Amino acid sequence: MRKLWASALVVSLFLFSTQVALPAGMYNKVGFGVRGGFGKHMMADKDVWKIGPFGNAEVKFGLHKNIMIGLIGTYGAVPRNYDEKWWAEAHSAADEQHNFLAELGTWIYFMPEGKFNPYLNLGTGIYSWYVQDENNKNVHIYDLKGKRLRLRDQQLTFMVGAGFEYMVNDYFSIGAGGRFHYLSTVFSQMDEDLKDTLGLPEGLVEGFAGITLYYPVSKDSDGDGVPDKLDECPDTPLGCLVDERGCPIDSDGDGVCDGLDQCPNTPRGCKVDINGCPIDSDKDGVCDGLDRCPDTPAGVRVNSRGCPDTDGDGVYDDEDKCPDTPKGCKVDEDGCPIDSDGDRVCDGLDRCPETPRGMEVDTSGCALVKALEEIKLQVNFGLNEAILDDATMQKLNEVYAILMDHPEIRVEIAGYCDNTGTDAINDPLSKRRAEAVRDYLIIEKGIAPDRLTAEGYGSKQPIADNATPEGRAKNRRVEFKIIE
């Protein structure tokens, strides 16, 4: 008997070890089931037995989320087929065969999370049977050697079956299925020749329906499929996927467990809501937590870090050390203005980018020209003359340069004489001297006429002593007065 159960255990463990585990379901549950149905012998030379009632009970335990193992006990009584005789001296047409099966089984469930849960059933065990007559007395026969024997035997079985359970709730199911038992010759005590003579069957098939009650072996307070004694995280929220320790799995590390996380691929570092979805306060497409500029105005273009380029210099605000750079300035890699000539007017806005260092400039970056208050040049003439000689024209060229540098000014050209002669002579002479200078600057140098006026003041405003030849030479002059 020890050899019998050892063999059954080895075969069942082999069948269990070769199965591929499927996702979650039956782990750590104990099931108690009862079945009722009909059985029929088959694979025999003679159709000796009819269909008879069968019933079984089973107890099973969940080793894995979709695999259970357990014990199955089956009994069935099969009446004789009246048209067939096992042997010439059969006692009665009312003989009945009593069948007992004790098997170690494996259940592989394919849809353990659903209401409808189909399964495959594999197993091995012992089949024992005997025959009684209509008076419930054991039937005896004579073997081929004339020895009287009780009509009974036992055999090693190999079982395969399939069925389904409909889970009414977590603790109760109804179902139906069928099993085929191959009846081997292992452990048989009947002579082979006698078996051939009797035409014993090699198979038994049964169909059944029944119920199963389930109960967890140990308490699972948070319902995550890991019993409390093994659960390192016993307060896991309902619905979370957990690891083998019973702790929530959080694939994207956002603090919301897989199973409850409606956005399971959130980038790491994002702040999320209670559903595990990224929060984006400024609606710029970059989640809070990764957004370095969380107050970006709506609709503004941002970089991958959520920052705009406020000053439009091509350097985004999170890297811009000079975020208020004026529009149009050229900037360096830090977003700060480049000022090649150091005049405090950035390249890009500097209209004079090569201004010598230290020179005062205006807002356009060009050298600042101070307002001209006076022109200190003057030209002199010979006695009773209004002719421009080479030396005079050289000085007038300097006046021309000043006028060109200061296009904003208008100038009065004032002519003067010494005290030689009368006013009637000196007044028109001084005027001619002023007009000669004006004509040169307009005709020869191109100064606009409306910028120059000519006046003669005679000898009334000497600048030197008319008593000496030197003093009189200085008084024969033309001066330049800025009038606006």
What share of the chain in percent tops pLDDT 90?
Answer: 55
Amino acid identity of 155? Q
Q: How many CB atoms lie within 10 A of CB 47?
A: 14
The pTM (predicted TM-score) of the whole model is: 0.46
CB 279 within 8 A of CB 287: yes
Q: Enumerate the domain spans of the chain.
A: 2-216, 375-482
Residue 469 contacts residue 362 (beta carbons within 8 Å)? no
* N-to-C CA span, the chain: 134
CATH no. for 375-482: 3.30.1330.60
The predicted-structure confidence for 123-144, as pLDDT tens digits, reads as follows 999 999 998 888 888 888 887 7
CATH architecture designation of domain 2-216: Beta Barrel (2.40)
pLDDT band at residue 199 using 50, 70 and 90 as cut-offs? confident
Q: Kind of pairing, strands 67-79 and 52-64? A: antiparallel
Closest CA to 214 of 162, 174, 242, 154: 174
User: Which strand (E) or helix (H) includes residue 154?
Assistant: strand 152-169
Q: pLDDT category, 475, cuts 50, 70, 90? A: very high
Does 17 score more than 60 pLDDT? no
Closest residue by Cα to residue 369 from 355, 379, 388? 355
Find out whether 80 and 48 touch, Cβ atoms under 8 Å.
Answer: yes
pLDDT digits (tens, 9 = 90+) for 4-14: 334 433 433 33
- Contact, 195 vs 211, CB < 8 A? no
